[in-house]
Chains A and B, each alone.
Chain A
Amino acid sequence: MNAPFPAIAAPPERVRLAGARVESASVAHFRLMVMMLLFIAATAVIAGKLAWMAVASGPAPTAASTYGLIPPRADIVDRNGVTLARTIDAWSIAVHPDKLMNPPEVVAAKLAAILPDRTEAEYLAILKSGRSFVYLKRRALPELIKQVNAIGEPAIALGREPERLYPQGNLASHVMGWLDQDGKPTSGMERVLDTRLTADHGRGRPVALSIDSRVQAALETELNAAMVKHSAIGASGLVLDVKTGEVVAMTSLPSFNPNAPSFGAVEDLANKSTLNVYELGSTFKMITMANAIESGVVTSMSHRYDATAPLQVGRFKIKDDHPQNRFLDVPEILVHSSNIGTARIADALGPERTAAFFRKLGFDAPADIELGAKGRPLWPKFWARTTTMTVAYGHGIAVTPLHLASAYAALVNGGVWRPATLLKRAPGQVPEGRRVISEATSARMRQLMRLVVMKGTGRKADAPGFRLGGKTGTAEKPRAGGYAHHSLISTFAGVFPMDAPRFVIIAMLDEPKGTADTFGYATAAWTAGPVIARTVARIGPLLGVMPSLTKDVDESELLPLLWEPKGANPNAVE
């Protein structure tokens, strides 16, 4: 550059510096901007992904739980709003064996000390399995979670998962059903209502059953006490609203705990009120009598039927348990529960009218209720003359206790049969039903039922002031080739208050044994009857039925028809 001053000139490589510097800065600045754009683009990608996540993840859940305030499965409550089933956030303990950080021996020893469900060797096998996920315990309690957490093993996963809780324990367990390990309903209303309980629009609102948990509890405890006292193998009980068909209580004993259904016996999982069919014995006499009055076979309560001797039909011989050995009028046939008298009336009715009436009451099909597990009645294959006579007093036909309850409701509510339901019915939702007997016949049946409790075999079922009416039924259990004389089904079908019927109550004991205070009797009057008396006294006020010593059914036209020998034991019952 400056040739005249070579001495002070920079070496050639440095001479270009001044110009190169600006050029270099210019290139650097340009490339800086390119890099900045790259960074902006990269940030835009991340921002875009974040925005997409915000859109795709939907609305923010609340902090209360991982799935918000709406449970994954709706609650089930009783008719008064008491919780029967609820989904809670339970803890689960699982382990990722392939991600274990501590020595498996150490973790296995600690787990075995905290969770004794498995042995240390079993835990060690799990931890060394190299599997990616193994459940150690579900439905764990918080204290347990705290202890497991204190092990400090990151591969142990403590999770919250929805768990179905039945806070009332065994109460109405057969009505409720339960969920299996995967949360799928297996039976009961859980299964019936599954779609409704899990539907997006329904999960937030609980479903109200027709069950009243207080009535249910009273029925279960009284029935259970009788079952234990009489060493019965099972029991069934029902309380049914006669006007709406709502099942206020339904039980099957022994019950099980739906929170841990696997702990109970398998046969206890069946609902004896709707699945098992029984020959329900003399309780059917009321049905036969209603049919006879309705169809004009019995026109006068004072007409007498020959019960002087057992009735021989072909090779069958129909006997009375407590033979009166005289002619009995209609109220007397029921009060003394005469098989002979009832058979004679049924003979007059004939098979067609008997079968037709039973069909009207739904005895030829499984009970009309929501539950899935319903037993099909044993309907006579051939209606011989003897068949007509025996079904009239409840032998040769087997139905569920619920069939009987619905039929009794129709007999006393003015003659209209309605399907039973386990769902709470609003006043406008009650089905119209179908008329099976007239209003007048129904009124007569109310008189007769009350009379049986006042004067007859049902006296032990009477709850003072609650105007109970009903009919006992003691049936021998059928077995191969005949009947087992000491294996009984003792049933009482009652209605209260009889002057304005509101509820049917059924108590049934399977194979009760007599005790000292029942003088060895295992019949319905001695076993099922007292259950009714105690239960009604407890549930009457809960259901709004107030005891009254002044109200009652007008029995003035029937009472004179009962003949009582002088000095007769007023306590002699079936």
Chain B
Amino acid sequence: MTGSTIQRQPKQVVRLGRADRSWYATWFWEIDRVLLLLVALLIGIGLIAVAAASPAAAGLEGKPPLYYFTRQLVWVGLGVPAMIGVSMLPKEAARRWSIWAAVVFALCLVAVPFVGIKVNGAVRWIGVDPIRFQPSEFLKPFFVVALAWVLSLRQQDRSLPVVPLSGLAVGLIALFLMKQPDFGQTVIFCTVWMALLLLSGVAMKWLYALGGAALGLIVLAFLFYDVARGRIMEFVTGSGDTYHVDVAHATIVNGGLVGLGPGGGVRKFKLPESHNDYIFSVIGEEFGLISCLAIAFIYLAIMVRVFIKLLDEEDNFLILAAAGLATQFGLQALVNMAVNVQVVPSKGMTLPFISYGGSSLLAVSIGFGLLLAFTRRNPYLTRSPYVVKWSSRQ
């Protein structure tokens, strides 16, 4: 009509748009969405894999076929919100809480020999069945953050004896872990500590010395520790009781390149720990070696994504914490996959997010939540000038 005026609309903020300043929009823009996608992929694959392995594992124990799958659904239901929640924490708060949590779980670990439950010949658990957890699983991510904090203090004050201090802490934890005994976790803790030392700028001579010491320890264990010698000799010569390894090998190659199809696996029914340590072999049988390859590349992609992203980071604590968490995560996956393809001897270690884990899935989720929190970044921050060195622009 005549004289009509354009009604000025009240300014509307597009939901999750760049102007949206709500807490969830901030999170959405700051979070590393590629990492989020990769971990979602892993969780999805994990659910399928546990569904495939559940009948085999439950069958051996006389439980209903989907016993482990339904429980895994519950744990994913707990783990995913925990991961998202932790990833929303401000970095400062995440650090502070992690340090306190590390102290609490370290105390739990110390208490294990006194109040722990014995499962499969090792005392690793705390709690009353069916509610129980492994303190070492929860300690792992928090301890990495605490370690990163301690080592980053060195930057504040070079006179602080952070290396001996952190070494003492790791040594104590290793002691309690070996008491359980849990050789696999000990290796993870020690390796992550060495990785953080490496990143914190310790002189290479110390790292060489540590590497030498580790080698010496292995030699000493070989000479004086019968179980270790037996394991190593069996792996090298392929002799001894290779039942587990043989069954795992038969399972992973049974599917050939493309697998027997979901639910088509037959060898998995003979495989102990099929839902847990050997789930990678079950995936190999049902979904083929090509799927195994894809999973290995997803883990690698997560590692590479975190490491590349850290090139933009200057804060020493954040570099150490994020790299440490990623290393711990990736190392565990690598060791598990290496055991499954018979590159290293059998070790009790789960495949993060894919193995049926129970409470350990919650621990892995919290750890990954911390990683997401520390890699959160304002996308409009200027890049570190240092990065130029790593890009093509010199």
Contact = CB atoms under 8 A, between A and B. Distances in A.
A96 B264 CA distance: 26
Q: Which among A27, A42, A46 has the greatest number of chain B C-beta atoms within 10 A?
A: A46
B255 interface: yes
Given A32-B310, A35-B195, A45-B343, A60 B303 contact: no
Given A46-B343, A154-B272, A21 B307 contact: no
A46 B296 contact: yes
Given A31-B198, A53-B253, A56-B253, A47 B293 contact: yes
Given A32-B199, A46-B341, A60-B260, A21 B293 contact: no
Given A54-B257, A60-B255, A36 B303 contact: yes
Nearest to A45: B343
A96 B201 CA distance: 52
A132 interface: yes
Interface of A: 13-14, 16-17, 20-22, 24-29, 31-36, 39-40, 42-43, 45-47, 49-51, 53-54, 56-63, 66, 96, 98-99, 132, 149-152, 154, 157-160
A431 B60 CA distance: 59
Nearest to A49: B341
A424 to B, nearest CB: 36
Closest 9 CB pairs of A and B: A60-B256, A152-B62, A57-B253, A63-B264, A49-B341, A36-B307, A43-B300, A54-B289, A27-B201
Contacts of B342: 49
Given A35-B327, A63-B261, 13 more contacts: A16-B158, A17-B155, A26-B386, A27-B201, A28-B319, A28-B320, A29-B386, A32-B307, A36-B303, A39-B307, A43-B334, A46-B334, A60-B259
Interface of B: 59-62, 155-159, 195, 198-201, 241, 243, 252-261, 264, 266-267, 269-270, 272, 284, 288-290, 292-293, 296-297, 299-300, 303-304, 307-308, 310-311, 313-314, 316, 319-320, 323, 327, 330, 334, 337-338, 341-343, 384, 386, 389-390
Contacts of A61: 254, 256, 260
Contacts of B241: 98, 132
A29 B311 contact: yes
Chain A interface, >50% SS class = helix
Contact of B307 (A35, A54, A158): A35
Contacts of A22: 314, 386
B276 to A, nearest CB: 13
Contact of B198 (A35, A132, A154, A158): A35
Contacts of B261: 63
A47 to B, nearest CB: 6
Contacts of A66: 254, 266-267
Chain B interface, >50% SS class = helix
Contacts of A56: 253
Contacts of B308: 36
18 contacts: A21-B314, A22-B314, A25-B313, A26-B389, A28-B199, A28-B316, A31-B198, A33-B307, A34-B198, A47-B293, A50-B289, A50-B296, A50-B341, A53-B289, A61-B260, A150-B62, A151-B62, A154-B61
B293 A50 contact: yes
A474 B384 CA distance: 113
B61 A152 contact: yes
Given A25-B316, A60-B257, A60-B260, A46 B195 contact: no
Given A53-B341, A61-B260, A29 B300 contact: no
A571 B140 CA distance: 105
Given A25-B319, A27-B201, A154-B60, A50 B386 contact: no
Contacts of A20: 155, 158
B201 A28 contact: yes
Contacts of B62: 149-152
Nearest to A62: B260
Given A46-B343, A50-B292, A39 B330 contact: yes
A358 to B, nearest CB: 60
B220 to A, nearest CB: 25
